[in-house]
Amino acid sequence: MDPASVGVGGEPERARAVGGMEYGWCRAVPGGTGTTLLAFRLARGAAKAATVQAALESLLDAHPVLRARLRGSSSGSPTLAFPSATPPLALELLPVPESAPDFASLLELELNRNPWSATASEPDADAPPVLFVTFYELPPPSSAAALFVRIHTAACDRAASASLIRELVASLAGDGDEAASSSASAGEPEDAAVRAALEERIPQRDSWKPFWARGIDMVGYSINGLRTSTLPFEVTGTERSTQMVRLGFDREETTRLLDACKQNGVKLCAAMAAATLLATRQSKQLASNQQETYSIATLINCRKFLEPALDDHNVGFFHSAITNTHTIHGGEGLWELAERCQDSYTNAKNNKKHLTDISDLNFLMCRAIENPQLTTASALRTAIVSVFEEPAVYELSDLQSKAGVEEFVSCATLHGVGPSIGMFDSMRDGQLDFVCMYPFPLHSRKQMQEILNKVKQILREGSNAHHEDCA
């Protein structure tokens, strides 16, 4: 930790250099990947700006990393500065534009507002905060409002996003006890992201890798990246944005899918990845048995592997990724391929590659950002799909009703460097919901909807067949 300096208003602040993964996000976010969005549709009665602002300020009080500012440096490596006192929250009140008259279109508009696009790479540049908030009152006949919280992903991963959603809903509901129990405890765990980055918290025994092994892995990742196939690109060389398609399962569909996963010994993420690869293969006009190789990125919450161990209430970025490739010829069954996906990432995880390979993958991501021509059609696509090892779980129906939260979404941008499809899965009161992000116009909404319809059909048929076999 750097010595304390003087921040805005003369208040002392702590600062530290960003870690390796955080640095990667600082490189990625200006180009369009890594803006985390928490979106809420609020009933009119619950949507008073003052109430919303007070709830958000309680989050800033509880999580010092959300108060951080990104400072440039002469060395080119950014610094995270953490004010000791909570600065005033600038709640931006905006009229609803004609181009985005409803919650879904506003969500995509806010998702692609990037206050970090002109990143603070110069030492004398203004230091932007890691968090921005926008509030809209939706026009008649709607009686709702919309709240959007944009957070730089270097300060907030998917697990932290889910925790923040729970805390914010509890705070809006006026349930102080629930909000307090959802936040991190005081002291060292609460200051986790302030005191040290992910890499500094990995036990040395779990992060060490021989130089020759690192070199072999780097060559392997590079070769696999060059030989993998992609989804067809529709428009390249144009300005890009991130768009969203939802994929939902009702309670019965959810139960059957999860039961089938359990009986086949695979996690939901492996089944979803397998279905996406099969859907990708089916979407192409390929000859029978013609093979293609696809890449999957499985994102893993590393908090429990750190010293000291952290929990999801410790806001910051503590995820890593495992990438695997699979050759698909078109004749695979869902559960056969899901088992392959499961075995591949499990074997890599058992070998601690989610900890040893963080710097390797981060280095390759930065090289792709610098040299997009190294990727197919300069599209910066690193995988067909990214999935999270575990879904976010929300049991919030009672609190949502009390808080007047009609809908909420957690997602992130990926139109810079990243996969063609980013799956953000959640379990909501017993029902699966997938928020599927994709880069536009590299892929169109029609193209994505067709792929995801195939994904759901494959999963439904696989679950039903398993259910019939067990009946």
Please indicate, yes or no, whether residues 225 and 262 belong to a single structural domain of this protein. yes
In this structure, are residues 34 and 161 in contact, taking their beta carbons and an 8 Å threshold? Answer: no
Please indicate, yes or no, whether residues 178 and 207 belong to a single structural domain of this protein. no
How many CA atoms within 13 Å lie on the side-chain side of 354?
A: 24
Domain end residue (candidates: 148, 163, 193):
193
Look at residues 165, 160, 167, 161 and name the one whose alpha carbon lies nearest to residue 182.
167
Record the tokens describing residue 277, joined without a space: 């690869």
At position 361, the amino acid (one-letter code) is: L
Please indicate, yes or no, whether residues 279 and 297 belong to a single structural domain of this protein. yes
> Does residue 3 lie within any of the structural domains?
no
pLDDT given for residue 223 in this prediction: 67
Please indicate, yes or no, whether residues 69 and 103 belong to a single structural domain of this protein. yes
CA distance 164 to 56: 10
> Does residue 7 lie within any of the structural domains?
no
Please indicate, yes or no, whether residues 277 and 359 belong to a single structural domain of this protein. yes
Main-chain phi, psi angles of 240, to 5 degrees = -115, 160
Please indicate, yes or no, whether residues 333 and 461 belong to a single structural domain of this protein. yes
Residue range(s) defining the domain that contains residue 22: 12-193
Look at residues 418, 419, 433, 345 and name the one whose alpha carbon lies nearest to residue 385.
419
pLDDT given for residue 206 in this prediction: 86
| Reported pTM | 0.92
Domain end residue (candidates: 141, 161, 193):
193
> Does residue 2 lie within any of the structural domains?
no
pLDDT given for residue 127 in this prediction: 83
Cα-Cα-Cα-Cα torsion 194, 197, 198, 202, nearest 10 degrees, comes to -100
Please indicate, yes or no, whether residues 23 and 160 belong to a single structural domain of this protein. yes
Domain end residue (candidates: 153, 170, 193):
193
Within a 10 A sphere around the Cβ of 237, how many other Cβ atoms?
A: 10
Give the CATH number, domain containing residue 101. Answer: 3.30.559.10
Please indicate, yes or no, whether residues 110 and 50 belong to a single structural domain of this protein. yes
Look at residues 434, 415, 424, 431 and name the one whose alpha carbon lies nearest to residue 162.
424
pLDDT given for residue 135 in this prediction: 94
The residue count of the chain comes to 471
Please indicate, yes or no, whether residues 153 and 278 belong to a single structural domain of this protein. no
pLDDT along the chain (471 residues), means of 10: 48 83 95 97 77 91 93 77 84 90 94 82 68 90 88 97 96 70 48 92 84 64 77 92 97 96 97 97 87 95 95 95 93 96 96 92 92 92 96 93 93 97 96 97 97 97 76 54
pLDDT given for residue 85 in this prediction: 80
> Does residue 249 lie within any of the structural domains?
yes
pLDDT given for residue 120 in this prediction: 43
Give the CATH number, domain containing residue 277. Answer: 3.30.559.30
pLDDT given for residue 180 in this prediction: 54
> Does residue 5 lie within any of the structural domains?
no
Please indicate, yes or no, whether residues 175 and 217 belong to a single structural domain of this protein. no
pLDDT given for residue 119 in this prediction: 54
pLDDT given for residue 4 in this prediction: 47
> Does residue 102 lie within any of the structural domains?
yes
pLDDT given for residue 117 in this prediction: 85
Please indicate, yes or no, whether residues 134 and 92 belong to a single structural domain of this protein. yes
Helix H, strand E, coil C: the string for the chain is CEEEEECHHHCEEEEEECCHHHHHHHHHHHHCEEEEEEEEEEEHHHCCHHHHHHHHHHHHHHCHHHHCEEECCCCCCCEEEEECCCCCCCEEEECCCCCCCCHHHHHHHHHCCCCCCCCCCCCCCCCCECEEEEEEECCCCCCEEEEEEEEEHHHCCHHHHHHHHHHHHHHHCCCHHHHHHHCCCCCCCCCHHHHCCHHHHCCHHHHCCCHHHHHHHHHHHHHHHHHCCCCCCCCCCCCCEEEEEEEECCHHHHHHHHHHHHHCCCCHHHHHHHHHHHHHHHHCCCCCCCCEEEEEEEEEECHHHCCCCCCCCCCCCCEEEEEEEEEECCCCCHHHHHHHHHHHHHHHHHCCHHHHCHHHHHHHHHHHHHCHHHCHHHCCEEEEEEEECCCEEECCHHHHHHHCEEEEEEEEEECCCEEEEEEEEEEECCEEEEEEEEEECCCCHHHHHHHHHHHHHHHHHHHHHHHHHHC
Question: What is the domain count for the chain?
Answer: 2
Residue showing tokens 């999957």: 296
Record the tokens describing residue 192, joined without a space: 């986790």
pLDDT given for residue 286 in this prediction: 86
pLDDT given for residue 287 in this prediction: 82
Residue showing tokens 């808080």: 403
pLDDT given for residue 8 in this prediction: 45
Please indicate, yes or no, whether residues 185 and 214 belong to a single structural domain of this protein. no
CA distance 188 to 195: 8
> Does residue 1 lie within any of the structural domains?
no
pLDDT given for residue 211 in this prediction: 60
pLDDT given for residue 48 in this prediction: 77
> Does residue 261 lie within any of the structural domains?
yes
